[in-house]
Amino acid sequence: MITLSPASERAVDRAGLQAIAAKVLASERLSFDDGLTLLESSELAAVGALANLARERRHGDLTWFNRNLHINATNVCEASCIFCSFARLKTGDPAAYTMSLEEAVGRLRALRHQFVTEVHIVNGLNPDLPFSYYTDLLQALKAERPDLHIKGFTAVEIHYYAEKYSMTYADVLTALRDAGLGSMPGGGAEIFAARARKKLCNDKVDTEGWLQVHRTAHQLGMRSNCTMLYGSIERPAERIDHMVRLRELQDETGGFQTFIPLKFHNEGNRLAKIQEPTDADSLKTLAVSRLMLDNIGHIKAYWPMLGVQLAQLSLGFGVDDLDGTVREERIYHMAGAKTPQELTRAELVALIRRAGRIPVERDTLYRVVAEA
């Protein structure tokens, strides 16, 4: 049985977290108040030790990654999220782009001699494209690389297409799936609490819509991920509220694979005056996520946002997945992320090993490709 070390027990005692620790040791669900107590605790070591226990109980030392490629087919977007450094552009603006199908396929073709298992597609809400652009895009990518799993289109995009093209969520998802979509990423969740969401992203899908898109995808048999943008204007209780709402949907559908807390970056957007979250805050948020989301298999540290070293450190704070090689990440680099555009497989393997963990290459659906 996995237990706390004597040093961790002392940290738990110092923090006054004995009751919560007892629940974690007994695999009991934590309440909203427990989550808030953990998030507001100043004993990072105690919170981290509890999260590490939950992580090792599920995964031991195994740490997951994949080899993937990002394609952002258009950065034209008619929404106006104030934290966004990627889009909010109109067609014709100097920095605006929309890839032709040939360009998008060319990204894959350039990798034809390399082993990749996933392409990740996220786009702006482009008012100038027909729905067929997206189905043609998927079909063209699949024709080029039938072996690749396409994870694409956030709930924000699915909701936008449903409204714009007068379709139901199920219609949109079914059409995209028939064209080659395999699963959905978790983006666009931001923060569910109405107070913060109204300030951050008033003109895109609301919380109920975001959850309903994922519920629909799960009912159609698709898996998806879920995220939370943390460190901007939300309050601690709003982070916990966000986790609880995801946990409730997961109780209902079981369709989420991974939770990915996304660190707020302040360059190139309208929140430049807000300090970015500290490393301690990031580690605690990841740890609390592991403890609160007892029904979601994986907690991912998205290294392009978090930084490579902090992502590595997070493997002792509840995290069991480091995303992947991530070629051509644009969204967070435009927000000031200083991380590399890509990590090689060897670099990922080495940084997992240096953290004392066992790297496992996975596909999108967490099937083992190779133990490294």
- Identify the three-state secondary structure at position 300: strand
Closest among 254, 231, 240 to 192, alpha carbons compared = 240
CB 12 within 8 A of CB 53: no
How far apart are CB 274 and ligand SF4 at their closest, in Å?
A: 16
Q: Does 86 contact ligand SF4 by CB under 6 A?
A: yes
Name the one range near ligand SF4 by CB under 6 A: 75-83, 139-147, 210-218, 227-235.
75-83
How far apart are CB 285 and ligand SF4 at their closest, in Å?
A: 20
Name the one range near ligand SF4 by CB under 6 A: 48-56, 84-92, 133-141, 233-241.
84-92
Q: Does 242 contact ligand SF4 by CB under 6 A?
A: no
Please, which of residues 247-306 interact with ligand SF4 by CB under 6 A?
none
**CA-CA-CA-CA dihedral for 365, 214, 285, 61, to nearest 10:** -20
Q: Does 185 contact ligand SF4 by CB under 6 A?
A: no
Please, which of residues 126-165 interact with ligand SF4 by CB under 6 A?
156
CB 138 within 8 A of CB 170: no
- Among residues 12, 69, 77, 213, which is the contact residue for ligand SF4, using CB under 6 A? 77
Name the one range near ligand SF4 by CB under 6 A: 83-91, 97-105, 192-200, 288-296.
83-91
Q: Does 209 contact ligand SF4 by CB under 6 A?
A: no
Q: Does 84 contact ligand SF4 by CB under 6 A?
A: yes
Name the one range near ligand SF4 by CB under 6 A: 2-10, 74-82, 289-297, 301-309.
74-82
Considering CB under 6 A, how many residues would be counted as binding ligand SF4?
A: 12
Taken as a whole, the chain contains a residue count of 372
How far apart are CB 341 and ligand SF4 at their closest, in Å?
A: 19
Residue 17 or 76: which CB sits closer to ligand SF4? 76
Helix (H) or strand (E) segment spanning residue 261 = strand 256-263
Q: What phi and psi values does residue 341 have, to the nearest 5 degrees?
A: -75, -20
- Among residues 39, 46, 116, 125, which is the contact residue for ligand SF4, using CB under 6 A? 125
Q: What phi and psi values does residue 148 have, to the nearest 5 degrees?
A: -80, 140
> DSSP readout, 164-206?
HTT--HHHHHHHHHHHTEEEB--TT----SHHHHHHHHTTS--
Q: Does 88 contact ligand SF4 by CB under 6 A?
A: yes
- Among residues 54, 81, 105, 116, which is the contact residue for ligand SF4, using CB under 6 A? 81
- Whole-number Å distance between alpha carbons of 155 and 132: 18
How far apart are CB 63 and ligand SF4 at their closest, in Å?
A: 29
> DSSP readout, 275-287?
PPPPHHHHHHHHH
* Residue 323 DSSP code: E
Sheet order of strands, 358-362 included? 321-324, 62-66, 358-362, 368-371
Q: Does 191 contact ligand SF4 by CB under 6 A?
A: no
How far apart are CB 85 and ligand SF4 at their closest, in Å?
A: 8
CB 161 within 8 A of CB 172: yes
Which residues of this chain interact with ligand SF4, rule CB under 6 A?
77, 79, 81, 84, 86-88, 124-125, 156, 201, 204
